[in-house]
Structure 1
Amino acid sequence: MSSDVHGTPRRATLLWATLIVATLLTWGMGATGATGKGAIAILAAISFWKGAVIILDFMALRHAPLLWRALTLGWMILVWAVIAIAYIKGLPQ
């Protein structure tokens, strides 16, 4: 495998470690009962970033044709939007 398509092992390891830290951060926020719009925005941003890293780097789509990137990232955005709409609809008026 060439590093120009799949990145380097060092990059993969750093991204993996960052994903672990991000997961622990979101878990910690949930365990402490972090609430409010700010906390939700932080959690949403972290989850979106994690999804993008997994799609682009660990699924090796960073240098794939635009159609494949658009389909996978678009699907993630669609799922994220449905979750966001459900959350917003569930907020008390």
Structure 2
Amino acid sequence: MNTRQLNIAWVILILATLATFAIGEIGDSLGIAGPLAMASLLVISFIKGRLVALDFMGLRGVKFFWRGLLLGWLLLVSSLIAIAYWIALK
């Protein structure tokens, strides 16, 4: 992976962090609250985790097993958080 690709991933991570901050701070006034905010935050977190795993941990070029293992773990954790939130709403 070259420096340009890492810089692009870093900028995306910064923008995603700013988006999560904006959702948390001004989400209510924009009408982004509750399940929509939770889903947005989970998607952004998954994207950030994927970027870190594939680009900064260097897993983009390895066998599918290792990428799948880490991305599967991210998907499992995100799913469990979504299920816990959904159960708490009832």
Q: TM-score range by the shorter chain?
A: 0.7 to 0.9
Unmatched tracts of structure 1, length 5 or more: 1-6
The one of 21, 45, 65 aligned to 2:43: 45
> Hey, what does 1:67 align to over in structure 2?
65
The one of 13, 16, 22 aligned to 2:10: 16
RMSD: 1.4
Aligned AA for 1:14? I
CA deviation vs aligned residue, 1:32-59 (integer Å, no higher than 9, x gap):
2440333332222211111111111111
C-alpha separation in 1, matches of 2:69 and 2:53:
11
> Hey, what does 2:86 align to over in structure 1?
88
Give the Å deviation of 1:23: 0.3
Task: Select the structure that is richer in helix.
Answer: 2
Percent identity, aligned pairs only, is 44
Q: Normalization by structure 1: what TM-score?
A: 0.83
C-alpha separation in 2, matches of 1:37 and 1:85:
11
Unmatched tracts of structure 2, length 5 or more: none
C-alpha separation in 1, matches of 2:21 and 2:59:
27
Question: 4+ residue runs of structure 1 moved beyond 3 angstroms?
Answer: none
